[in-house]
A = this chain, B = another copy of it.
């Protein structure tokens, strides 16, 4: 008999506790794999819980748990009723799940506010450049409407913040890139709390509101007139300006600079 290559020592070195995938995790993975393979498409209806448990040869509770996870990730959603299109349907609306995920992880400080702002800057620059270079085919009416509502001098800070968010997310969505719009919505949602704090702690709110308004108007006019470079520099100034006012730091700083 030849000597085994596994001595007691190498065994103890190589063998940690096995992590066994749970059944519901396998079901989640199976559904995702079907999506990646293109066999499950948006709007497709999934089999019912009983049928799925038979097809996959797993328990119904495992199927149920998997479905809950897929729902939480906005990969499937339930439609009420019994007719066509009811039941469990493959979804196409990822934005809330994305906002959720990013928002929680900013709150957990997995991502810092400067990191989020830096990414937001990159995306917003891309958005205004996209709009400015193809403005003839872009619908900016919603952004114009938001701007008009922001001009109301009686707005409280929270309503102003809501409209501020609506303006920036609206710009990103107007750029006709769904991912850009969803990420912008997620990033804005993720820093909502620190932004609200900054607004609340501002001793000269009235002045700030006027400044922010005029910056928004300038950005809007630059993109409407197709001036990509000007729009980019206005966006950079707007985002850096907001941040510098509150913390005296640039959003672009690296971890080593933070110390």
Give residues of chain A (107-161) contacting chain B, Cβ–Cβ below 8 Å.
Answer: 107-112, 115-116, 118-119, 121-123, 125-126, 130, 133-134, 137-138
> Is residue A183 contacting chain B, with contact meaning CB distance below 8 A?
yes
Interchain nearest-CB distance for A82 vs B (Å):
13
Contacts of A91 in B (CB 8 A): 108
Contacts of A111 in B (CB 8 A): 94, 178-179, 182
Query: Measured between alpha carbons, how far is A116 from B180 in the docked complex, in Å?
Result: 8
How many copies of the polypeptide does the oligomer hold?
Answer: 2
Given contacts A90-B108, A92-B108, A108-B41, contact A116 B176 (CB under 8 A): no
A72 touches B75 (CB 8 A): no
A 65-84 to B, binary, CB cutoff 8 A, 1 in contact else 0: 10011001101000010000
B118 touches A126 (CB 8 A): yes
Query: Measured between alpha carbons, how far is A97 from B101 in the docked complex, in Å?
Result: 8
Contact partner, A72, options B73, B115, B255, Cβ 8 Å: B73
- Report the count of interface residues on A (CB-CB < 8 A): 63
B119 touches A180 (CB 8 A): yes
Query: Measured between alpha carbons, how far is A138 from B253 in the docked complex, in Å?
Result: 12
A108 touches B177 (CB 8 A): no
> Is residue A105 contacting chain B, with contact meaning CB distance below 8 A?
yes
Contacts of A252 in B (CB 8 A): 130, 133
Give residues of chain A (47-71) contacting chain B, Cβ–Cβ below 8 Å.
Answer: 65, 68-69
A98-B101, A115-B178, A119-B177 given; 5 more Cβ-contact pairs under 8 Å: A24-B68, A42-B109, A73-B100, A176-B254, A177-B254
Interface set of A (CB-CB < 8 Å, partner B)? 17, 24, 28, 32, 35-36, 38, 41-42, 65, 68-69, 72-73, 75, 80, 90-94, 97-98, 100-105, 107-112, 115-116, 118-119, 121-123, 125-126, 130, 133-134, 137-138, 175-180, 182-183, 193, 252, 254-257
